Structure 1
């Protein structure tokens, strides 16, 4: 996996991940690295869309305990364009879908769900070869349902305000069979001998 360009990586403006944690008690893995490599290669964001000039390194994720909120920091390269020099809106939608799922699943009774609805408002172009922050918050949870709101924004430099690029709201529903399934869809690191049946997100995105 290739790191962001050296000129960016060594810049005084390179974001410091710890500054974006939602609370002091948050954990901060690069979750996709916990997925077996053979599975990762078949996944969309962790496989096909990862690598040089794409999703350059695994996003750095802070997840507040209990599924309350999450911040994911990422660097998107030059080969994920729709219009030249602008990150494809479909990729932003996919990142929101997976990020929102990662945020709310710990709040679910069986820690799993699928996307029932995802509404997106695009606010400004996301320029490639830049760092971005995805912020998500579980605003409501009732039984097998969780509602999540959030956004993708630029990362501030020199104290400037971030620019909101896209905002979204989503509803996730835990499948009725999740309580009895031996192999649930899961966002948590997998340590067993049987691989989980899919990656995060799902529903409309076909991940689960």
Structure 2
């Protein structure tokens, strides 16, 4: 400990008495006083123990300052702003990635829908009724006949709709399930959009009158089936209903198998005319009962024309309000009359 210089008239306490000391150069400490010890002896002892008393040639120098502890310097405003910005970007990126992660399968399903062959393996029956209906359709003579014809391709079009979108689709979600359309319809489409055959089972929860399928549901089946028939014949592979005329021929019984048959009769530019019918599914050699007949006109919207910079969207996803997308140059108008083939 470095001794301190005593202040003038420093007061020392010895035992119960107070004594006043004059200022002595070189003395820099309190003098320990003991009862019974003279003050002069204490001063002599302290003076002789100081460095100046031991070596007269030594001059007194003030003590060196003690090293100060390292003080943390506050970063500049720019550095703090940059740190906050980087942390914000990282947290935002992580949050954005976590938010879009569940949507990645949906985006893939929209941009890359499953092929016709892949849709056939996407449905797995879960209930006894579904297994029974699936087995009946799969082994029916009409199904085997259409599978043997090379010009037809088999698929389940409703399963091309991504799972998150099916809840907002009437025929692919709302009307699908036990008691309604029990299994996804099996569809056979002829190349070039010439004709289409679809086999379905209608449950007992789609009735208007008890035991009779609602006519609005049959109209929905005809609207969708006839449109799907001509998609491949239209320039942009999608069409909107411009006109639909239906004639009901017989009541459709609930809990029965039906067949929808459609044929494209004419294509002119962006327009396609289609006719079709819904009839009962019967065995070989039996005469089906026609339940409803329809004719329709479908028009491919101009907004469906997309440039090569944009991948074509699936038919269920194209919206007629997308007018901001670039379009192809006008295509020449043409007319095609398809010749009737067989009884389809």
RMSD of aligned residue pairs (Cα, Å): 2.6
142, 145, 149: which one pairs with 2:275? 149
Decide which structure has greater helix share: 2
Call closer, same or farther: CA 1:187–1:3 in 2, change over 3 Å. Answer: farther
242, 246, 268: which one pairs with 1:120? 246
Q: Cα distance, 1:177 vs. partner?
A: 1.9
Q: Cα distance, 1:24 vs. partner?
A: 2.6
98, 109, 116: which one pairs with 2:235? 109
Structure 2: how far apart are the matches of 1:20 and 1:149? 20
Call closer, same or farther: CA 1:185–1:22 in 2, change over 3 Å. Answer: farther
Range with greater deviation from structure 2 (68-77 or 153-162): 153-162
Q: Deviations over 1:40-85 (max 9, x none)?
A: 1110011111100101100000000100000000000000001110
52, 57, 82: which one pairs with 2:208? 82
Equivalent residue runs for 1:113-192 within 5 Å: 113-180=239-306, 182=310, 186-187=314-315
Structure 2: how far apart are the matches of 1:40 and 1:183? 22
Q: Cα distance, 1:18 vs. partner?
A: 2.6
Structure 2: 5+ residue runs without aligned partners?
1-124, 320-344
Kindly indicate whether residue 15 of structure 2 is the aligned counterpart of residue 15 of structure 1: no
Q: Cα distance, 1:4 vs. partner?
A: 3.9
Q: Deviations over 1:77-129 (max 9, x none)?
A: 00000111011100000010000111001000111110000000000001011
Between 1 and 2, higher relative CO (CA 8 Å, sep ≥ 6) is seen in: 1
Query: For residue 32 of structure 1, what is the aligned residue in structure 2?
Result: 158
How high is the TM-score relative to the length of structure 2?
0.51
Query: For residue 25 of structure 2, what is the aligned residue in structure 1?
Result: none
Structure 2: how far apart are the matches of 1:59 and 1:8? 11
SS at match of 1:27: strand
Structure 1: 5+ residue runs without aligned partners?
189-195, 199-208
Q: Deviations over 1:133-161 (max 9, x none)?
A: 00000000010000000000001135211
Alpha carbons 2:304, 2:318 under 8 Å: kept: no
Call closer, same or farther: CA 1:83–1:177 in 2, change over 3 Å. Answer: same
Range with greater deviation from structure 2 (23-32 or 64-73): 23-32
SS at match of 2:155: coil
Structure 1: how far apart are the matches of 2:225 and 2:300? 16
Kindly indicate whether residue 162 of structure 2 is the aligned counterpart of residue 56 of structure 1: no
Alpha carbons 1:3, 1:57 under 8 Å: kept: no
Call closer, same or farther: CA 1:3–1:76 in 2, change over 3 Å. Answer: farther
Call closer, same or farther: CA 1:11–1:33 in 2, change over 3 Å. Answer: closer
Alpha carbons 2:244, 2:295 under 8 Å: kept: yes
How high is the TM-score relative to the length of structure 1?
0.82
Structure 1: how far apart are the matches of 2:282 and 2:222? 20
